[in-house]
Structure 1
Amino acid sequence: MSGTLKTLINGGLKIYLRPLHCTRVVRSKNEAQHGAVTDNGGYTQQLLDDPYWEDLPSPPDVRPMYTETRGDTAPRSPHSEGKRLSRKDSASFLKPEVSLSRLQATDSIISIVFGLKRLAWAHVDRTLTVRDWQQHEWVHLVRGKQHADLYLEDVCSAVSQFPAADIYILEKSSLSSQNASMFPVTLHLRIVEAMLYALLNPGYIAEQAPHRVFSMGRTIVGKHFDIMVGGAKTSGVDLVQRLVEEATTTERPRIQFTEDLIFQYKHRLHPRGQNRNEEMCDALLQAIAFYELTGKPDT
């Protein structure tokens, strides 16, 4: 019926059409001959008699590409494992979903924290030994030039300094998207986060490789170290200073450093003015929390 919205079910994929002369669309000429199509003047029959319809291939079966969820169609990623992991087997503190067994098999990770002025990272292995711990100052972004090419240049400059690692853990900020005054900050963090996901996942599309980049909530780290105040994670600088000091004074420290780097790190963590190395400290705490939440590291 002209002007009436009808639904065509094509192998499970719902397509909404506005047909001109018929109540629904047919899959083949035989279907029309059995009364599947009605019109007001035989125009549909004229179309079916056209040679074009004889050579028209059957619609593809799209059912394997879609799964029904609450009446809606949702695409199934080629990277998915076919079924959701149970809560016992999944690392619920990370997004996207990943199995604990895969995380426990990693040799090293790079923990990444970024803000408005800089990006910091900590390269930590399964023995909780810090192999690298640095920060990169934004060159273009602190000047208020939020152009896509400048974001790419700054983020690529930071990524080029990363050592090789099995997976990358990004801090997920807890800023509310409903706070209009914080929108520029939230936008900046999301842009950097998206670029890191793309740059550090080179085989995700080309080779359909599993994710190597995961996000970890800032509050998860805060709760793990009990440094939460009023639902927000507070500064971890003092805690990290204590952990670095214990690395040289206790027999079984919570975190270890190579001998050639311990003096450098102790010197850098003595804050002067507003330079408290917040991002560096947060990156280290995030790495420690990751290993302690995935299971006791091998020693």
Structure 2
Amino acid sequence: MYRPTILIVDDQASTRKLLVAHLEHFGYRIIQAQNGIEAISIYLKHKPDLILLDVIMPDISGFEVAQQIRKLERESYKHANHKSNATNDIEYWTPIIFITADTNKFEKGIECGGDDYLIKPISLPLVKAKIDVFLRIIKARSNYIDKYYELYNEKISLEFEQKLSTGIFNLSPYGIICIDSNCNILMSNDAANHILKIEPSKIIGKNIIEFIPKKYLEKYNNFIKEYLQTKTKYFFGKTKKFTAIDSNNREFPISLRINEFTVNLQTYFVGIIEDITQQEQISSRLKDTSKLEAMGVLTAGIAHDFNNIL
């Protein structure tokens, strides 16, 4: 079980003894210092959860001790932020409760980094109450810091995944377009923009029908209506041949493969497209060549038969 560590700093042994006896009864782990120099050394070694600090001491005052501790905390904070990429406003903080008989030094104590005061003669129930308040604050603050770093790490992870996805998205040799259920374009990769001859900033928000020749619009709209009414996915996941039109009004053949996905009950579609103009031209030439070869064979056969007749 975790035991909060409390550093008691007082040059009077009787005061330390009184506080130790009272606080150990509640399960706190107690460490002691009898002067300011020793207090700073113990602070660096043990990093206590809370400090009870006498103001008047023979070497350096409690105010000077508090100033030194706050300086050390700031330096630790800067060092930690320098080592990690998590820049934030969460500094290290150890609650400091001054112990004094002089009620006129409250403001100076706060200016030096103190958080609260205990007036001599010390009220032991009040000591316990103040400590408990600050320990609750420490716990809440610790939970906040843990949540902060959890969200920060999640943010870094999401940024990495987004950059990775974007990199893969744009490295694809195939055009990729994402549209909503109203056929508005939400995303497109570099290959799609190149195929459709349009700048990335201009394609987002356009309706996909702008890239379909008018003579095919009715067929396309019927397909969309049929899907929305029946949810029949016979076309999805299959590569089909279509005719598209780019921003220069050039019609050209494409291969198209469509799939559907849902996010927060909203339906989206992703299409993978490829300009197959060259493939179609090659295929057409091959067909023409095959026809010529067939005609050549036929002609040769006719000539052979004709010669036999003669």
In terms of fraction of residues, the more helix-rich structure is 2
Normalised by the length of structure 2, the TM-score is 0.25
Normalised by the length of structure 1, the TM-score is 0.26
